[in-house]
Amino acid sequence: MTTFPTCVLGPSGLVAQIRPDQYSDDGFTLYIGGEPQSHVFVEHQLHLLFDYVQRIANIVDLFAPAREPIAVLHLGAGALTLPRYISLTRPESHQFVLESEGNLLDFVTDNLPLPPGAEFTVRTDDARRGLSWAATFGPFDLIVVDVYSGSSTPPHLTTVEFFTELAALLDPDGLLVANVADDADLALVRAQTATLAAVLEYVVVLSSKDLVEGRAEGNAVLVGSRSPGMLGLLPRLAAEGPHPSGTVPPEGLSAFIGDATVVTDARVGA
């Protein structure tokens, strides 16, 4: 029987496992609690498998001049797929990672080696509680929220109060990016879009065409900023895919959000 690298994470107690791809010699998926969480091509770490990661990488590529170092805060580490990508495409970037599972990163890097020269400053802490630590390194050009416990994001990391704390750590032209996975009714995506739009003036949704038109489940990438400069990226982001690409620009947010309401600490008991 085939065995795969496995460990029990603390403090959640979820099981993490790394499994090789069926059709790729160097591709590996990190599963946490039985859910596919991250993917890495160990010999080609600029290649990205998951659609939502490709969309975030497109943002990384386009929102600042090529190769220019940036300051990034990652909430949720997974297999460090995006930090690896940034270290290769924007050398000398300052990257900071908040990860709640104390032994996850050692497990990942022992089994999926980092590219040469990749460096991150890591703190084991809850993504919200650790923001006081992160603030000492800000402001950030980019903040990426990709925090999951099994298949869901902890509720206290979905609220308007949380997004307000994150926005305070952004550079004036910085971007706040959140990965939101949802069922086909998009109740969570719509609520998170409403919540982010209550904090930052310019918000867009990037995903597949089917998802933004309400015909499919999947992952949506929410992007928010205080600066309208991000709006100029939309045609290029749509062109970069993955295809068929869907976009909800600011003028379409109201119809997209519908009757979804802003998530608050009081509402989720945070």
Q: What pLDDT is attached to residue 22? A: 85
- Answer whether 214's CB lies under 8 Å from 182's CB: no
Confidence of residue 11 (pLDDT cuts 50, 70, 90): confident
Among 68-77, 181-190, 252-261, whose mean pLDDT is lowest? 181-190
Confidence of residue 79 (pLDDT cuts 50, 70, 90): very high
Q: What pLDDT is attached to residue 148? A: 87
Percentage of the chain surpassing pLDDT 70? 99
**In Å, how far are 58, 90, 124, 125, 145 from 98, measured between CA atoms?**
22, 20, 6, 6, 10
- Answer whether 71's CB lies under 8 Å from 94's CB: yes
Q: What is the pLDDT of residues 85-129, one digit of tens each?
A: 999 999 999 999 999 998 999 999 999 999 998 999 999 999 999
Report strand pairing: 218-225 vs 140-145: unpaired
Tell me the C-alpha distance between 43 and 61, whole Å: 21
Q: What is the pTM of this model?
A: 0.96
For the CA atoms of 36, 242, 27, 110, what is the dihedral angle to 10 degrees? -60
Q: What pLDDT is attached to residue 152? A: 83
Tell me the C-alpha distance between 86 and 218, whole Å: 24
Confidence of residue 83 (pLDDT cuts 50, 70, 90): very high
Among 127-136, 171-180, 182-191, whose mean pLDDT is lowest? 182-191
Q: What pLDDT is attached to residue 1? A: 57
Q: What pLDDT is attached to residue 214? A: 83
Closest CA to 96 of 72, 126, 67: 72
The mean per-residue pLDDT over the stretch 146-159 comes to 89
Q: What count of residues does the chain have?
A: 270
Q: What is the pLDDT of residues 225-236, one digit of tens each?
A: 999 999 999 999
Q: What pLDDT is attached to residue 224? A: 98
The mean per-residue pLDDT over the stretch 138-147 comes to 97
Q: What pLDDT is attached to residue 15? A: 95
The mean per-residue pLDDT over the stretch 33-54 comes to 95
Q: Is the pLDDT of residue 74 over 70?
A: yes
Range 45-268: architecture per CATH: 3-Layer(aba) Sandwich (3.40)
**In Å, how far are 52, 72, 154, 170, 240 from 143, measured between CA atoms?**
15, 6, 18, 7, 21
Q: Please give the angle made by the CA atoms of 139, 144 and 148, to the nearest 5 degrees.
A: 135
Q: Is the pLDDT of residue 56 over 60?
A: yes
Q: Please give the angle made by the CA atoms of 257, 173 and 124, to the nearest 5 degrees.
A: 80
When the pLDDT of each residue in the chain is averaged and rounded to a whole number, the result is 94
Q: What pLDDT is attached to residue 149? A: 78
